[in-house]
Amino acid sequence: MRKHQRPPYLSIALISGAALAYEVLLMRLFSIIQWHHFSYMIIGLALLGYGFSGAIISVFQGWLLQRFTLVFLGSLLLFGLTSVAGFMAAQAMPFNAELILWDYHQVIYLLIIFLLLSLPFFFAASAICLAFMQYRQQVSRIYGWDLAGAGLGSLVVIGLLFVAFPQNALITVGAAGLVSLLVASVELGVKQYRSVSLILLVSTMVLSLLAVNLELNMSPYKSLPQTLRVDGTEVVEQDSSPFGLISIIDSRIVPFRHAPGLSLASTAEPLPQLGIFTDGDNMTVITKAAEDKSQLVYLDQLTSALPYHLADPASVLIVGAGGGTDILQALYHSNNNKTSAAIDAVELNPQLIEIVGSRYSKFNGDLFQHPGVQVYAGDVRGFLTQNQKKYDLIQISLMDAFNASASGLYALNEDYLYTIEALKHYLNHIVPGGILSLTRWIKMPPRDTLKLFATAVEALRQMGVENPSEGLILIRSWQTSTLLVKNGAFSSENIKNIREFSDERSFDVDFAAGFPLAEESYNQMAKPWFQEGTAALLSDKQDQYLDQYKFNLHPAIDDRPYFHHYTKWSSLPEMFKLRDRGGMSLIEWGYVVLVMTLIVAAVLSVILIALPLLALPRSSDKAKAAISKTRVILYFLAIGIAFLFMEIAFMQKFILFLHHPLYSFAVTLAAFLVFAGIGSYLSANMAHYYSRRNLLLGSVAGILLFGVSYIFLLDSLFIWISDTPILLKILLTVVLVAPLALLMGMPFPLALSSLADHAEALVPWAWGINGCASVISASLATLLAIHFGFSTVIMLALALYAGIVFVFPVPPRAVTS
Amino acid sequence: MKLLTTVAGMFSTLLIVISSGAGILAHAADLTEQARLEMVRNIEQDVRETSLELNKSELDPRVMKALSRVPRHEFVPADEKQNAYENRPLPIGHGQTISQPYIVAVMTDMLNLEPDSRVLELGTGSGYQAAILGELAGKVYTIEIVEPLGMQAKERLQRLGYDNVTTKVGDGYYGWEEHAPFDAIIVTAAASHIPPPLIKQLKPGGRMVIPVGSRFMMQQLLVVDKREDNKIVSKQVMPVVFVPVTGKH
């Protein structure tokens, strides 16, 4: 039929880009209205829409292909409408993540939500799959445009998020669906102009109607909606970027009095503040300019104030400028000590810098413009790599890597702030005698404080320090703990000051070498776990302690950057049993969600892959030359898993080069997809000169070559060229990703076009298998990375690539392909 | 004669209807009472099975009695009434919850209330905790910052006859100066730190209990004791018996 006409390449690229943009936006939107972990699960499962489309098309292929144009255009239209309508319906579900272990109805809501969100993916995937079947000779080229479109879509959506609120960007995605409908009707040479115009008109009206009514509905249990219930609170400003939705709140009747970790002995009250919420949670504050220095004394009553009592740092680096509280604390002490410290502050979110630094500078007394203060946009490790400064004090206070930004697409909990390599990096930028100060919230039972301590011990040991105990101090209030790591040993003078500081504020000293610990703590627990833990981690019984501790306290490394992963499988049964006896918070939700996503995806995939088999033609004599179905399953499963394994693992690896989580996500993902698309397209051209089998062998050989060399060489390469300007680094990233991605783009279309030639009924089935595999792959990759590291994920992917050579789906007899 | 039989018939019908109605109501009341007693039994069982960090295998019987008397179902919204006596937290609207009964029992027990105690509560919420406190203490003062919730709780507590509980709507940061000092203070409202004025309003020998964590997942209970010499000592208690290290160490 239309087999010799040009496939609707442009509309396919458009719909594919729109689908990826939809995925990124969903992540952003759900992180705002719900919490990041459940967003990950919901969206991960919604992607099964791809697998679902393969199953449906397998069963109804004859019927659908007869009406190709109608169904193709219809899918594009439905994508456009369901992307917005589906989200609005999903948002209306009274889903409350935290209730899930108390109330099983929540699971039903979750299922409905993921079904609603999977519809757009279903429609986009159906359109592409039908195109494969209709234009059998052009499978590789179609796939090339599909991937390239997705790659460009990822860049466009990130750019869009800088200028529009996510809910408005969603409308744009819906509109892109309608535009692709228009483009497709032109590309397919549709003559019924009036019908198409009418449909476009009506759907545009529907979309506009939806757009007008689209408002974000945050879960009532997030801190922002809760805060807004108090009389006299109002949102004075809202701004959005790929880093998050920022909301500035003024509370006129009941002021904000944010002072985390304030000493129990304190009589000071914080100054008036404006609240800053990111994605409706994680409140921090902008503090009103003090009229008198004494009004800031509360900043001296936090555990994070300790380093200022041991020395007068002349140069300070603050990690995470936020609302400026840490800067204020540094200035307060530098004024007190009559030194004028040079304070550098790094902040990841440029919008926050603009808000705190200029829009509200009158409120906070021009804090960021203070002569001693310099604020930089970016992440801390990139900042330290670019400039060679050394500091007297590096202050990292109540900070966690922010993963719900747009770069959180495949991210769950990666945190490069607290790995062993990170601590070494910070320590290398501290002058001899200088201090690294790390403050964290206390969790009960102790988890991250002890893990951080273990990380510091290991970092010091790896730097050649013989007695790490001499350079470590741990103090604690009931709420926060502060760990000091010195470039050197703490003197007895230091210890005296620490003791005084802590006693005055009812803080406990849990570790200080050669310091007799107090008999009675100010902040008691059932057992002195912090004292016992720190002592054990420095002793030769360290391994035994790590074994016996019911949470995972092994330090994180850059290859396995999961500082916030504490769950040990051996402890799960006990924690689960205790869940309604006060033990709910023992369970690490990120991990549980990850495992649940994987299990559900696997189960649903089995159904989606097996079901079409009932409808597909059985092997018969006539079909002796047909391709073995077992091969098809194995091949496409392997490819689906391996491709995403490589993509995810390398995206993380390149974070160690580009540092900035958003840049590395955007650049690496786009580069992977675009070049894989180019590779796919090229494989079509090259198929004129080489057999498919040879092309496959060649591409796999290339993948293995690049893959293996990257595992061994990338890390050293990154270090060697670490201090080049960011633009050059981006270029280099593209150059490094290009050849690997190009080759990776070939195995899928080569096999699919083989199927299109010899067993076309299997094409949608294979597409569905691939879709299911991608979903499983994402969570499986993270799970493996948590336990074994990203290098292992890459090696497994390479093993899978090596293996596909043996199950390449070609007919058994030698046939000229 | 016919009139008499008609009247007698109507009268007996009425009698039957009334008594069955009363029977039904009584049965319903019976059911809630049964559910309540079952809830208390479950809590006792939980405590017995996993004797708490405070080295107890049972909570103060007075506390358990209070839990068996307070009609929890009156404190939850209509659509949650069937879950009122389940051992789980429930949403009560306005983004708030009523705590899991087990946690309420543990927290109340920790307050060590006497019949003449003066208690301050920050975060009235549904008013359930205040009612429990009212059963045990002499005078209860409770503050809620969200107006509709506070008014609802006030009306509810009055209707149920808790005369020793005084409710107000407002900012609890400065405590309730005019009724200070307090033998016990319970703070269920979220805050980034413990307001210093509250510590001041605690009597020497008094105790403050503060649940820490999210609405549905409490992480720990902070118990702040003010010694007779005014020294402040805090204890972090997990409401669950979970020792983070296996074996001896």
The pLDDT tens digits for A344-371 are 999 999 999 999 999 999 999 999 999 9
Confidence of residue A397 (pLDDT cuts 50, 70, 90): very high
3-state secondary structure A699-728: HHHHHHHHHHHHHHHHHHHHHHCCCCCHHH
Q: Is A685 exposed, middle or buried (0-12, 13-18, 19+ CB in 10 A)?
A: exposed
**Which ranges of A400-524 would DSSP assign to H, the alpha helix?**
420-427, 448-462, 492-504
Instruction: Find out whether A90 and A75 touch, Cβ atoms under 8 Å.
Output: no
What global pTM score does this model have? Answer: 0.91
> How much is the pLDDT for B240?
75
The answer, for A540 touching chain B at a CB cutoff of 8 Å, is no
CA distance A186 to A567: 55
Angstroms from B49 CA to nearest CA on chain A: 10
Within 8 A of B241 by CB-CB distance, chain A residues are: 578, 581
Q: Furthest-apart CA pair in chain B: how many Å?
A: 93
Name the active-site residue from B57, B99, B117, B214.
B99
Q: Sort residue A506 into left (φ over 0), alpha (ψ -120 to 50) or beta.
A: left
- DSSP of A6-31, one letter per residue? PP-HHHHHHHHHHHHHHHHHHHHHHH
Q: Which of A168-182, A300-314, A576-590 has the lowest mean pLDDT?
A: A576-590
CA distance A216 to A54: 32
Confidence of residue A101 (pLDDT cuts 50, 70, 90): confident
CA distance A770 to A632: 10
Mean pLDDT of successive 10-residue stretches along chain B, which has 249 residues: 80 80 76 88 78 67 94 93 89 87 91 95 95 96 93 95 95 92 92 88 95 79 91 84 70
Over residues A107-132, the mean pLDDT reads 93
pLDDT of A495 above 70: yes
> How much is the pLDDT for A66?
92
> How much is the pLDDT for B249?
39
Q: Where are the beta strands (DSSP E) in A100-232?
A: none
Please, which residues bridge with residue B224 across strands?
A: B208, B234
Helix, strand, coil % in chain B, rounded to nearest 5? 45, 25, 35
The answer, for A694 touching chain B at a CB cutoff of 8 Å, is no
- To which residue do tokens 């068996």 refer? B68
Tell me which of A585, A587, A588, A592 to substitute to probe the interface with B (most B C-beta atoms closer than 10 Å). A585
Q: What 3-state class would DSSP assign to A730?
A: helix
Q: Give the containing element (helix H, strand E) for A280.
A: none
Instruction: Find out whether A528 and A521 touch, Cβ atoms under 8 Å.
Output: yes
The answer, for A525 touching chain B at a CB cutoff of 8 Å, is yes
The answer, for B248 touching chain A at a CB cutoff of 8 Å, is no
Q: Do B218 and A584 touch (CB under 8 A)?
A: yes
| Cα torsion A611, A616, A620, A626: sign | negative
> How much is the pLDDT for A817?
45
For residue B25, give the amino acid letter.
Answer: L
CA distance A413 to A278: 17
Q: Which of A102-116, A572-586, A681-695 has the lowest mean pLDDT?
A: A572-586
Instruction: Find out whether A83 and A117 touch, Cβ atoms under 8 Å.
Output: no
Q: Do A260 and B192 touch (CB under 8 A)?
A: yes
Written as six digits, the tokens of A802 are 């090596």
- Cα B194 to the center of its chain, rounded Å: 21
CA distance B189 to B187: 6
Over residues A500-521, the mean pLDDT reads 88
Instruction: Find out whether A376 and A383 touch, Cβ atoms under 8 Å.
Output: yes
Written as six digits, the tokens of B38 are 């079952």
CA distance A583 to A691: 61
Please, which residues bridge with residue B187 across strands?
A: B122
Instruction: Find out whether A23 and A43 touch, Cβ atoms under 8 Å.
Output: yes
For residue B178, give the amino acid letter.
Answer: E
Q: Is A350 exposed, middle or buried (0-12, 13-18, 19+ CB in 10 A)?
A: middle
The pLDDT tens digits for A758-817 are 888 899 999 999 999 999 999 999 999 999 999 999 999 999 999 999 999 888 755 444
Written as six digits, the tokens of A640 are 């689906």
Mean pLDDT rounded to a whole number for chain A: 90
Portion 83-102 of B in contact with A at CB < 8 A: 87-89, 91, 94-95, 100, 102
Q: What 3-state class would DSSP assign to B215?
A: coil
A546, HSE (Cβ side, Cα atoms, 13 Å): 15
Within 8 A of A33 by CB-CB distance, chain B residues are: none
Count contacts between A and B (CB, < 8 Å).
146
DSSP class of residue A356 equals I
- To which residue do tokens 């529009």 refer? A164
Within 8 A of A261 by CB-CB distance, chain B residues are: 193
The answer, for A551 touching chain B at a CB cutoff of 8 Å, is yes
CA distance A421 to B212: 33
In angstroms, how far is the first alpha carbon of chain B from the final one?
93
CA distance A171 to A22: 10
Q: Which of A94-103, A275-284, A808-817 has the lowest mean pLDDT?
A: A808-817
- DSSP of A132-170, one letter per residue? HHHTGGGHHHHHHHHHHHHHHHHHHHHHHHHHS-HHHHH
Please, which residues bridge with residue A437 across strands?
A: A395, A484
Of A220, A522, A585, Cβ closest to residue B218: A585
> CA angle, A372 as apex, A371 and A375 as ends, to 5°?
95
Please, which residues bridge with residue A275 across strands?
A: A249, A285
> How much is the pLDDT for B50?
58
Q: Which of B73, B89, B92, B79 is nearest to B31 (CA)?
A: B73
Nearest CA in chain A to B103: A582
The answer, for A232 touching chain B at a CB cutoff of 8 Å, is no
CA distance A317 to A395: 6
Portion 118-137 of B in contact with A at CB < 8 A: none
pLDDT of A410 above 80: no
B12 as an active site residue: the answer is no
The pLDDT tens digits for A513-570 are 878 777 788 998 888 999 999 999 999 999 999 999 999 999 999 999 999 999 899 9
Instruction: Find out whether A437 and A307 touch, Cβ atoms under 8 Å.
Output: yes
The answer, for A573 touching chain B at a CB cutoff of 8 Å, is no
Portion 713-752 of A in contact with B at CB < 8 A: none
The answer, for A542 touching chain B at a CB cutoff of 8 Å, is no
Q: Sort residue A552 into left (φ over 0), alpha (ψ -120 to 50) or beta.
A: beta
CA distance A207 to B210: 49
Q: Do B215 and A526 touch (CB under 8 A)?
A: no
B144, HSE (Cβ side, Cα atoms, 13 Å): 21
Beta-strand relationship, A430-441 and A480-486 = antiparallel
Instruction: Find out whether A640 and A633 touch, Cβ atoms under 8 Å.
Output: no
Within 8 A of B239 by CB-CB distance, chain A residues are: 581-582
Q: Do B236 and A268 touch (CB under 8 A)?
A: no
DSSP class of residue B185 equals E
Q: Which residues contact A389 (CB under 8 A, 6 or more apart)?
A: A315, A317, A344, A429
Please, which residues bridge with residue B217 across strands?
A: none
Q: Is A574 exposed, middle or buried (0-12, 13-18, 19+ CB in 10 A)?
A: middle
Q: What 3-state class would DSSP assign to A595?
A: helix
- Cα A329 to the center of its chain, rounded Å: 31
DSSP class of residue B56 equals B
- DSSP of A46-102, one letter per residue? HTHHHHHHHHHHHHHHHHHHHTHHHHHHHHHHHHHHHHHHHHHHHHHS---GGGGGT
Tell me which of A217, A253, A283, A444 to substitute to probe the interface with B (most B C-beta atoms closer than 10 Å). A444
CA distance A352 to B217: 30
Q: Do B196 and A267 touch (CB under 8 A)?
A: yes
The pLDDT tens digits for A174-202 are 999 999 999 999 999 888 889 999 999 99
> CA angle, A665 as apex, A112 and A381 as ends, to 5°?
125
Q: Which of A94-98, A145-149, A215-219, A602-606 has the lowest mean pLDDT?
A: A94-98
- To which residue do tokens 């990203």 refer? A790
In order of A234, A256, B171, the CA distances from A252 in angstroms are: 8, 9, 12
Q: Do A254 and B234 touch (CB under 8 A)?
A: no
The answer, for B146 touching chain A at a CB cutoff of 8 Å, is yes
The more confident residue out of A817 and A602 is: A602
Rounded to 10 degrees, the C-alpha dihedral A579/A583/A586/A588 comes to: 30
Question: A257-293: string of b/e by CB count within 10 Å (b at 16+)?
Answer: bbbbbbbbbbebbbbbbbbbbbbbbbbbbbbbebeee
- This model of the complex carries an ipTM of 0.84
Tell me which of A580, A588, A589, A592 to substitute to probe the interface with B (most B C-beta atoms closer than 10 Å). A580
CA distance A45 to B249: 44
The answer, for A266 touching chain B at a CB cutoff of 8 Å, is yes
Long-range contacts of B207-210 (CB under 8 A, 24+ apart): B207/B110, B207/B111, B207/B112, B207/B183, B208/B184, B209/B107, B209/B110, B209/B111, B209/B184, B209/B185, B210/B186
Phi, psi angle pair for A815, to nearest 5°: -125, 135
Nearest CA in chain B to A480: B193
The answer, for B55 touching chain A at a CB cutoff of 8 Å, is no
Q: Which of A582, A576, A526 is nearest to B102 (CA)?
A: A582
Of A262, A265, A444, Cβ closest to residue B236: A444
The answer, for B103 touching chain A at a CB cutoff of 8 Å, is yes
